[in-house]
Amino acid sequence: MSPGAISRRACLQALVAIPLVGSARPSAVLALGGTLPPLDQPAPDFRLPAVVPEKSGAGGQRSELSLADFRGQWLVLYFYPRDFTSGCTLEARGFQRDLGAFQSRGAAVAGISADDGESHLSFCGSEGLAFPLLSDPDGRVSRQYGSWIAPYSQRHTFLIDPQGMLRQIWTAVRPSAHSGEVLEALDRQRALPGQTPSQRQP
């Protein structure tokens, strides 16, 4: 098969996946990166090495984080290709800018890429990031989230509720405006019937 045919097929998969994720909510949706996990089901579990920055954004420490560590709060879990690239830097800056707004709504933010801990430490320090970055060098977790084309994670974002259920997916991410989109979706999700008072909008 020619490279052109592969490219056309990948583009068609992406175009098909984008509208389906937000509307029909099928059990299996393809995106650039693989099969996305189904909405309104438990999010795929993970445990990965992580860099957890100081709240000030200056320095940080190595750790491990799992999905269970975020239980009881909303989680914005975003996958991105690489530290220090232009799009990934814009996206990270947006989440850092809005981090206080997410936290006031009971939400945490965490990023995942294939970069190692040294790269994450440097990136957090350079951009003053105060949220954790996780390392997925072999793409194991990225594959579970349909977000891996070796050697990079794809730019996808997942909104997970305090019970660990997957509530929204973004595959067509615009790095400069993405944080605002996620914040608006978080407000809509928190306002839905069935949320406990602590999970609703203030």
39, 52, 88, 166: which is the annotated catalytic residue? 88
DSSP secondary structure of the chain: --HHHHHHHHHHHHHHHHHHHHTT--S-EEETTEEEPPTTSBPPP-EEEEEEE-TTSS-EEEEEEEGGGGTTSEEEEEE-S-TTSHHHHHHHHHHHHTHHHHHHTTEEEEEEES--HHHHHHHHHHHT--S-EEE-TT-HHHHHTT-EETTEE-SEEEEE-TTSBEEEEESS--TTTHHHHHHHHHHHHHTSTT--GGGS--
C-alpha to C-alpha distance for 23 and 40, rounded to whole angstroms: 12
Tell me the backbone φ, ψ of residue 69, rounded to 5 degrees.
-65, -20
Structure tokens at 142: 């990225």
Of 38, 31, 67, nearest in space to 154 by CA: 31
124 carries an active-site annotation: no
Provide the annotated active-site residues: 88
